[in-house]
A and B are shown apart, each in its own frame.
Chain A
Amino acid sequence: MTGRVGESPRRADGPGKVRGDFTYSSDLTIEGMLWGATVRSPHPYARIVAIDTAEARAMPGVVAVLTHEDVPGQQLYGLEIQDQPVLAFDLVRYWGEAVALVAADHPERARRAAQTVRVTYEVLEPLTDPEVALTEAAPRLHPAGNVTRHVRIRHGDQSARADVVVSGEYEIGMQDQAPLGPESGLAIPGAAGSVDLHLATQWLHVDRDQLAGILALEPEKVKLTLAGVGGAFGAREDLSMQAHACMLALRTGRPVKMSYSRPESFVGHVHRHPGKLRYEHGATRDGRLVYVKARVVLDGGAYASSSTAVIANACCFALGPYECPNATVDGWVVYTNNPPCGAMRGFGSVQNCYAHEAQMDKLAAALEMDPVELRMRNAMKTGSRLITGQVVEGPAPVAELLDRVKSFPLPVQGRGSGRGANTELDLTQMPGGVSNTTHGEGVVRGVGYAVGFKNVGYSEGFDDYSTARVRLSVVDGRPRAEVHTAAAEVGQGLVTVQAQIAATELGVSDVVVLDADTQVGSAGSSSASRQTYITGGAVKAACEAVRERVLALARSELGRKEVRLEGDAAVSAEGTVIATLATLLGDAVIEETREFRPRRTHRLDSETGQANAHLQYAFAAHRAVVDVDTELGLVKVVELATAQDVGKAINPQAVEGQLEGGAAQGLGLAVMEEIQVKDGVIRNASFTDYLLPTILDMPPVRMDILELGDPISPYGLKGVGEPPTISSGPAIVAAIRAATGRPINRVPVRPQDLVDT
């Protein structure tokens, strides 16, 4: 029984996931398959002088060793700029870049053979400082120079002055998406030079189109099927092992599996851009923003990935969800020899939120005003104008969200929450936790607030659409709807949501969502909080088309004018069953395919940054309560509270899961997670050294979910997935500042930032 829109049915993929028999991309296996391994650069910047594969080729069990000379088609790929080699030639530009491939009959043989591939490098001085990369004197890492994109936004009076001015510079560390499922997949050579790839990705069709170019095959000869995806969060937007596995399979004529280890995963996908943001806010004495000047520099690393879109977001939303008559924003994303950066949940709106929210607190302090009051006074609302000139349509309840998180009762100090709490001192609730480093001595509490927003869906004129095929027929005497899209279920619950929409629109209880593959049109990426809106919209449209045909059939067969579909039957206006769908349909199969395209967006003007560049905005606010051990510099996030407008909760339980899980990733960047890069080399590429929030780190999340209804989206829904990751971290840092009185201008906050050493 499939639930309807607004209900929380169990996930269709849930039973397999709890039993352990759901097949993830790393679980795939087939008789006679080979294992692929990748030879990677030990240098962040070097010239390749020679590659000697003779020893590797001679090893037992090794079937193929490939280099850039074996790439059948395009040597370069990339989501927006084709600048990244499939396998490095001439230069390697980051530590861990893929240089050669091995296929062998056992994973360990493949790994050992990869170690024997002799690559002679002429080591070059890596360019690792983004500020240096911006200068004319810096070496050019790519032919077009080191600036991947400069976004310039000029809004209002450029020489505005204000009575009260605050400024600050903020630094954001490099965060990893760390999806638990490794990059992995199985490529199977097919007839007439074709290839079947089963994999974990966020967007099947963009992978297919890039693979067709790399493999020099017609797109029809590259068939992709989504295997189980162990999380994504942006890490699976770019190609990782896809082209490599296909090349090895096509060369050897045998199926080839590739599955990265965790250390390899850290160099196998892009990361959240680290950044430096310099801000100046001017306001009137009664707390009205007069102007904001922002300078944003993001380190894009060695290749462009989605950097050009990330910097656009960082600039468009640089001020946060506030009204401000004047703004001057300049953002650059640059090439360096650091690890490549691209998409991660929040996509450019996370970095700037740390800066604009720190600035709002600083301004409140300068004005001697309550920080929430200052935010509410300047809060964006319906009809407000963004700094890009676009008018905010639909609900924009920024002040209400702040008011709601402020209204939640505050937790009692020193006591836990949940069952079994409040009876004695709970060490898990103290900074340092069960390490027993304090029983409260030197511990101070702070409360902080933050609010953020971002775009839902693709922006700047990108042709955003999704495709759905819906088929209604009678199976074993009962009506069944089959939904086929290429949309990637990455854990968010999209398969369930698609089924709920079909059940609602067609009034049937048996809905099957088919495997996502490239045998149906593109769904776009499971990114930008867009799938429930865009693919949900496509499923709804295809269902409506099927429904029209069923109702036409009902009218002609049954001679009734007023008919609707409900409870697996055609029913009258009064709700009485006229005919079961099984009877009405008989042997008929009704199938419709629809594309759903939301409203068009437009590219930012290159001089002024003005445009109607975005489709929809999603807002969330957070309040954080922290305890800080001021002697040891340890932080315990005691509680998070959030309020978010989701327009319409299609699946309330899944919405809650997004709010809780997204907040955990925000907490990670605020106080734990950072890829530490020194001279271009990652120093902590493992889960031992890259610290992810555990169940002991993550506090309870109080939440208020608003359903204010967007006037133009399907069911009034708003994208949900990213806002929880935007303002949660900044609220935590605000709370740490409130607790300690320290400025804190860098995340993640480290112990040495909290004690005098």
Chain B
Amino acid sequence: MRIACTVNGRPRVAEDVWEGASLLAVLREHLGLPGSKNACEQGECGSCSVYLDGRLVCACLVLGGQAQGREVVTVEGLASKDELHPVQEAFLEAGAVQCGFCTPGFVVAAHDLLTRKPQPTDVEIREALAGNICRCTGYAKIIDAVHLAAERMAPR
């Protein structure tokens, strides 16, 4: 199967894709974008969170073929060439990264939250990130990171 879609602003084509492959597998195995992670592949951990036509989804729950003709943004699409996105910068600074396997998913989900709600409360952060599992940090520094990013992204 051949899948053509836009990924991180660029038109991409994946060739010889198995019909049963998830969008996650297409990104990781065919398009050289392993940033979206394969921790549960069951939609429970959020480590494969990406945007599909602007909506936050678990790439493991989307069939590769469903991405045909659509627009995908992954964690690799958030930073500009030389500069991290403020959400990425905040995760680093707040110490929200340990093993980092959950980090791409949290970064994308936090990015989505801050797009919708630029100054979230703790409760709003917890609710928005409840679909992402982190096994290392205990989440406290992730909450700190989202607040820090919100401050940095606020219009002056």
Co-assembled chains A and B: yes
Taking beta carbons and an 8 Å cutoff, which residues of A are in contact with B?
A: 8, 10-11, 13-15, 17-24, 26-27, 29, 106-108, 178-182, 228-233, 259, 261-262, 416-421, 426, 428, 434, 490-493, 653-654, 656-657, 659-665, 686-688, 692, 694-696, 698, 700-701
Give a binary string over B36-77; 1 marks a CB under 8 Å from any A CB, 0 the rest: 111111101101000000000000000000000000001110
- Check A180–B45 contact: CB distance below 8 A: yes
Q: When chains A and B are docked, how far (Å) is the Cα of A11 from the Cα of B140?
A: 17
- In the bound complex, do residue A491 and residue B136 qualify as a contact, i.e. CB atoms below 8 Å apart? yes
Shortest Cβ distance from residue B122 to the other chain A in the assembled complex, whole angstroms: 3
A-B contact pairs, 14 of them (CB 8 A): A10-B92, A10-B93, A15-B92, A20-B104, A180-B39, A180-B135, A181-B39, A421-B121, A656-B141, A657-B98, A657-B141, A694-B132, A695-B143, A701-B140
Closest residue on chain A to residue B150 by CB atoms: A419
Whether A656 and B95, one on each chain, are in contact in the complex, defined by CB atoms closer than 8 angstroms, is yes
* Candidate in B20, B84, B124, B138 with the most chain A CB atoms within 10 angstroms: B138
Which single member of B34, B39, B75, B138 contacts A660 (CB below 8 Å)?
B138
In angstroms, Cα B35 to Cα A696, docked, is 25
Task: Determine the chain B residues whose CB is within 8 A of the CB of A27 once the complex forms.
Answer: 28, 34
A28 to chain B, nearest CB (A): 9
Chain B residue with Cβ nearest A109: B18
Cα distance A19–B83 in the bound complex, in angstroms: 10
12 new A-B contacts, CB < 8 A, other than A107-B29, A419-B122, A687-B40, are A18-B104, A19-B35, A20-B34, A29-B34, A180-B47, A180-B133, A231-B101, A232-B99, A428-B126, A493-B98, A694-B139, A698-B139
A145–B44 Cα distance when bound, in Å, is 41
B84/A695 in contact, CB under 8 A: no
Question: For the complex, would chain B's binding face be called helix, strand, loop or mixed by DSSP majority?
Answer: loop
User: Is B7 part of the contact surface with A, judged by Cβ < 8 Å?
Assistant: no
Given A19-B75, A418-B122, A419-B122, CB of A233 within 8 Å of CB of B135:
yes
- Asked if A695 and B126 sit within 8 Å, CB to CB, the answer is yes
Cα distance, A643 to B143, chains bound together (Å): 21
| Nearest CB of A to B32, in Å | 8
Asked if B142 is an interface residue, CB under 8 A from chain A, the answer is yes
* Nearest A residue (CB) for B131: A694
Q: Is the CB of B126 within 8 A of A180?
A: no
Are B138 and A687 closer than 8 Å at their CB atoms?
no
Contact of B95 among A8, A108, A687 (CB under 8 A): A8
In the assembled complex, the Cα of A490 lies from the Cα of B135 at a distance in Å of 12
A419 with B147: CB separation less than 8 A? yes
Cα A214 to Cα B18 in complex, Å, equals 35
Select one of B38, B121, B140 contacting A420, CB under 8 A: B121
Chain A residues closer than 8 Å to B143, beta-carbon distance: 418, 695
Chain B proximity of A115: nearest CB distance (Å): 14
Contacts of B91 in A (CB 8 A): 14, 18
Smallest Cβ-Cβ distance to A261: which chain B residue: B41
